[in-house]
């Protein structure tokens, strides 16, 4: 069977645009990008507490990884963008509670994300070497 790139729809980003929540690339890193809106894409008012929003975004990343056949331990790199500078400590605390291994990490504070109501966006890259990777071969 020929290896095929899989575009994963975990229903997290459907309301934002036409892109995948995760992409499974055979014999290569897999990438997952998730935004913070709650409940896999329902556009509800964001939580006032930034830590709650960061936890929901992490849950969205976990769901996209699950749909792509990956796990948190497969993450090798995290890239995150925040809009409130004052949320850095809350973001770091939540990230450390979710990702316990030493993945490469990039964090930037930016003036605005694609939608002004968004305060956080993250992208993770995973390398899957366990048996779940075989489903894409």
Which residue ranges form the domains of the chain, and what is each CATH number? Answer: 6-136 (3.30.1330.40)
Of the listed ranges 35-39, 84-88, 100-104, the least confidently predicted one is 35-39
**pLDDT over 50 at 33, yes or no:** yes
Alpha carbon distances (Å) from 96 to 3, 27, 62, 92, 112: 34, 28, 14, 6, 24
Contacts of 134 (CB under 8 A, 6+ apart): none
Using pLDDT thresholds of 50, 70 and 90, give the confidence band for residue 40. Answer: very low
Q: Whole-model pTM above 0.85?
A: no
- Confidence at residue 112, expressed as pLDDT on a 0 to 100 scale: 93
Kindly report, residue by residue over 9-23, the tens digit of the pLDDT.
887 767 766 667 777
């Amino acid at each position: 069977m020929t290896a095929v790139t899989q575009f994963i729809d975990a229903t997290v980003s459907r309301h934002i645009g036409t892109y995948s929540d995760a992409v499974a690339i055979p014999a290569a890193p897999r990438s997952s990008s998730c935004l913070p809106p709650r409940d896999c894409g329902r556009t509800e008012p964001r939580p006032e507490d930034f830590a709650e929003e960061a936890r929901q975004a992490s849950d969205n990343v976990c769901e996209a990884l699950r749909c792509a056949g990956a796990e948190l331990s497969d993450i090798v790199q995290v890239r995150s963008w925040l809009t409130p500078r004052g949320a850095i400590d809350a973001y770091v605390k939540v990230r450390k509670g979710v990702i316990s291994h030493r993945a490469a990490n990039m964090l930037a504070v930016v003036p605005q994300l694609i939608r002004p109501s968004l305060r956080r966006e993250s992208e993770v890259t995973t390398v899957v070497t366990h048996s779940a990777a075989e489903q894409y071969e």
